[in-house]
Structure 1
Amino acid sequence: MFSKFMVLFSVLFFWGSCFAGLKPSQYRHISLSKPKIKVRIGDKLKKVTISGTDLKRTLHVNNNHKKFPGRKRIRFNCKSFTRKNKGKISKPILLASVSSQTGLISLDRTKYQGRLHVVTSPSEESCDVIQEVDMDSYISGLLSKEMNGAWPVEALKAQAVAARTYAFYKQTTQQVSRKLGHQAYYDLESSEKHQVAGDFFATTLNTDMATTDTAGYVLVTKGKGNLTETFFHAKCGGKTLKPSSVWSNRVEGYSGVSCPFCDSHGKKNWKESISRARMVKFLKWAKRKGHIKFRDSLLKNKIRLAKDKFKANNLRIYLGSKVLVLKKPLLRRYFGRFSVSSNNYKMVSKGNDFRVYGKGLGHGVGMCQLGALDLADRGWDFKKILAHYFPGHKLVKLY
């Protein structure tokens, strides 16, 4: 399709993370001894620099293969390529793949395991970088980012199973990008949106042990044995929530559970002030999104709030005689996690303004990580921890 060289590069000496569940027939193919995962670790990059020892590079457009003995650095000018082919790129294109005989390779100055792929980005004049790596190498590096590599091994094991289940679900369903759909070259991205991946140096003895001891284990629903998304968060503040309470979509196998275990860990409580003007903007946003209906003229009335409590799932707001019922997570979705740290809160009126008093940190669905830490300190093993936070699921070994 393209007559010119796909990418400009130079070689230099180098010295220096209701949705239906997946039925068993849809995921049982994951029986390989070392399944792999593709993770987007860089996006919208104008230039890409990959380095390592004894590199092997493939330019896919013309099937050009080349080996570089010794320590080398390879540069890709994504901006130049995409600019030259502007209007010709309608979907992600795999430009190049680079690997090392050592099994280690660097993107800029960060060292990773596996292979790196350079792919055109949906954003014009840039590229994405995808790491292709063994699933369990990915999990071991992830544990230090999503939890803490120094935590008790049983807590890390529980996290490893949850993260592995989430990764396999994303990989099998290809639910990674609404914009790209099945054309996305990666299975999930390294971000808080999915899961934060670690580099080679993120692994510890504990994360390696937790990954090895749980190799192949995932959570599936009891009864049907379906593979679903497994969620986790930092601190629930006393109770966990169902996905439908937070995101309006039902995920099979979930129920909210009591969790007093995280109370003595992390930040105790949080609070936020919301002015009347900010509340008006929030209500208008909720109306635009279709969550509530009201006439804008009603905003001239005093905004009144029904008595709220922590265990309530909804806010009841009055505009004159009009009653608005809003799910509590909408407040966090609009104001953001830095203002509304969790979905476990109560709101009170202060004159024309409002105060939000909350507990916990994160969306509150699935496993409470600080709760898992406390339970591991009490002597619970990972199976018992997972059974508490995912009572509608069971463990199975895929490989």
Structure 2
Amino acid sequence: MEPQLRVGIMYEKEISFQLNGTYVLKQNGKEYTGKQEAKYIDGKISFDGIIEEELIFNPKEYDASNFDLFGVTIGIKFHWERKEDQRFKGSLHFICEDEKLTAINVLSLEDYLVSVISSEMSATSSLELLKAHAVISRSWLMAQVIKGEELQKSNTQYQSIVETEDSFIRWYDREDHVNFDVCADDHCQRYQGMTKQSTPLVVDAINATRGLVLTSEGRICDARFSKCCGGVAETFENVWEPENHKYLQAVIDNPQAPEGYDMDLTKEEAADKFIRTSPDAFCNTTDKEILSQVLNDYDQETMDFYRWKVEYTQEEISELIERKTGKEFGQILDLIPGERGESGRLITLKIVGSKRTLTIGKELEIRKVLSESHLYSSEFVVDKLDVVNEVPSKFVLIGAGWGHGVGLCQIGAAVMGAKGYKHDEILLHYFRGAELEKRY
């Protein structure tokens, strides 16, 4: 049976919305249409003269109705963060969380997928790429719902921070959400409701793969993806919790290993050479037609993701690290690579300051600390320039890839689609040993 999904959309003290069609409010049985407003007041929701702990608006006609939410923040804490008005199909729920209202969209999984594929990918993508992405998104979603249910049943506290006096290791995952299945931002999967114009091709891709998921040993795969692996996909446990998934292993994003490279990128010398050069890989492309299949307009504001460079002055990096960690380091003397994953991504990084030394990880924590939003990836090497009395005046980070690099590489998959690979071949290139199985 097709699951229903709860998607967290926005979090504000006051939320303006418009009901397009007739909606029935469960709390009082009244019908509503047109522009409305709900407010957070002292742990409850104020709406139309009533005060409730939650509001549930259900459409009288599911397919003929939709609703608008005004001022939804997209790209939270990314360089392209902005607000936009968005339109959604299904029911609208309001709950109270962290002294704000949370707006939740409840809809069928397949309807959600039509939007997510259109939001994550360009609707002009090739049919095989869209089919592959439909299977991944469906698998990931169903795996997250199961994981959430298992966590609740086990009643165990999910542990994602390991802290000592000289180290801070944290990973980020969807366990942050307890009142809905997934959020609408890049933290989970980018979802913009009906706002992002879909095409018949996206609908065809969803319909052609309806109920189809990746499985491994009978369980639905926690199928991950990122924009650009940088040449090698990373293993799951090097990014998130220390749990090995057979189908989320290191994958060279090429039919064969690039010549002239030691591909044991856990070794610093091998990683250094790999990152500073531009070896062949599916995702090593500058073909704008292929890239436009994967990158939306705001993603195309920058195109240097296979290999990239970021520079900081001493003043910039010392202020940034202190602000992001909340700890005083003094002058930054060194950034020393610690453990590297199999893609060359840093799992740990030692920050050496004149006042303290701290090892941080995992990859997203490193990316957050060394950038106003997020570094493209944690796959980088560090050059120190103009060192005077052991104090560099400039740090240059030379890096590879965009995102965590686990699972499917979207740009690599787009290139594979353009080269004539079928969706199952694309999927089994990135998810080694997995199987395709129809669940409904």
Q: Name the CA distance, whole Å, in 2 between partners of 1:307 and 1:99.
A: 53
SS of 2:252's equivalent in the other structure is coil
Query: Which residue, 290, 303, 317 being the options, matches 2:334?
Result: 303
Query: Which residue, 196, 215, 225 being the options, matches 2:218?
Result: 225
SS of 1:121's equivalent in the other structure is strand
Max Rg structure = 1
SS of 2:204's equivalent in the other structure is helix
Query: Which residue, 102, 105, 109 being the options, matches 1:135?
Result: 109
Q: Which amino acid aligns with 1:331?
A: I
SS of 2:123's equivalent in the other structure is coil
Residues 169, 94 of structure 1: alpha-carbon distance in 2 compared, 3 angstrom cutoff? farther
Give yes or no for contact 1:44–1:123 (8 Å, CA) kept in 2. no
Query: Which residue, 82, 90, 94 being the options, matches 2:54?
Result: 94
76-85 or 308-317: which moved more? 308-317
* TM-score where L is the length of structure 2: 0.67
Give yes or no for contact 1:56–1:65 (8 Å, CA) kept in 2. no
Query: Which residue, 215, 231, 234 being the options, matches 1:238?
Result: 231
Task: Give yes or no for the alignment of 1:163 onto 2:137.
Answer: yes
Residues 230, 138 of structure 1: alpha-carbon distance in 2 compared, 3 angstrom cutoff? same
SS of 1:193's equivalent in the other structure is coil
Task: Give yes or no for the alignment of 1:121 onto 2:119.
Answer: no
SS of 1:52's equivalent in the other structure is strand
- Tell me the percent identity: 21
SS of 1:364's equivalent in the other structure is coil
Per the TM alignment, residue 391 of structure 1 is displaced from its structure 2 partner at its CA by 0.5
Give yes or no for contact 1:105–1:111 (8 Å, CA) kept in 2. yes
Equivalent residue for 1:51?
19
Task: Give yes or no for the alignment of 1:270 onto 2:308.
Answer: yes
Equivalent residue for 1:189?
183
Q: Which runs of 5+ in 2 are unaligned?
A: 47-51, 70-84, 152-172, 254-280, 292-302
Task: Give yes or no for the alignment of 1:111 onto 2:87.
Answer: yes
Query: Which residue, 9, 15, 36 being the options, matches 1:75?
Result: 36
Q: Name the CA distance, whole Å, in 2 between partners of 1:308 and 1:228.
A: 27
Task: Give yes or no for the alignment of 1:257 onto 2:224.
Answer: no
Give yes or no for contact 2:318–2:332 (8 Å, CA) kept in 1. no
Residues 74, 345 of structure 1: alpha-carbon distance in 2 compared, 3 angstrom cutoff? same
196-205 or 386-395: which moved more? 196-205
Residues 282, 44 of structure 1: alpha-carbon distance in 2 compared, 3 angstrom cutoff? closer
Per the TM alignment, residue 306 of structure 1 is displaced from its structure 2 partner at its CA by 7.4
SS of 2:144's equivalent in the other structure is helix
Residues 379, 38 of structure 1: alpha-carbon distance in 2 compared, 3 angstrom cutoff? same
Q: Which runs of 5+ in 1 are unaligned?
A: 1-31, 86-91, 290-295
Equivalent residue for 2:376?
341
Residues 127, 287 of structure 1: alpha-carbon distance in 2 compared, 3 angstrom cutoff? closer
Equivalent residue for 1:17?
none
Deviations 1:115-172 (A, max 9, x none): 222x222132x42222111111110111121121111011111111111111112222
Deviations 1:314-369 (A, max 9, x none): 6577789x998766724313124756212222222223132111122112111110
Q: Which amino acid aligns with 1:123?
A: D
Equivalent residue for 1:213?
208
Equivalent residue for 2:267?
none
Q: Name the CA distance, whole Å, in 1 between partners of 2:360 and 2:105.
A: 41
Per the TM alignment, residue 273 of structure 1 is displaced from its structure 2 partner at its CA by 1.8
Q: Which amino acid aligns with 2:250?
A: G
Residues 227, 308 of structure 1: alpha-carbon distance in 2 compared, 3 angstrom cutoff? closer
Equivalent residue for 2:72?
none
RMSD of the TM alignment (CA)? 3.6
Per the TM alignment, residue 258 of structure 1 is displaced from its structure 2 partner at its CA by 1.0
Task: Give yes or no for the alignment of 1:38 onto 2:1.
Answer: no
Per the TM alignment, residue 43 of structure 1 is displaced from its structure 2 partner at its CA by 2.2
SS of 2:308's equivalent in the other structure is strand
Give yes or no for contact 1:56–1:67 (8 Å, CA) kept in 2. yes
Q: Which amino acid aligns with 1:128?
A: T
Q: Which amino acid aligns with 1:219?
A: L
Equivalent residue for 2:121?
147
Give yes or no for contact 1:100–1:115 (8 Å, CA) kept in 2. no
Query: Which residue, 237, 244, 247 being the options, matches 2:240?
Result: 247
Task: Give yes or no for the alignment of 1:370 onto 2:414.
Answer: no
Give yes or no for contact 1:140–1:203 (8 Å, CA) kept in 2. yes
Residues 162, 336 of structure 1: alpha-carbon distance in 2 compared, 3 angstrom cutoff? farther
Deviations 1:204-258 (A, max 9, x none): 112111111111111122xx22234221111112111112222353242220111
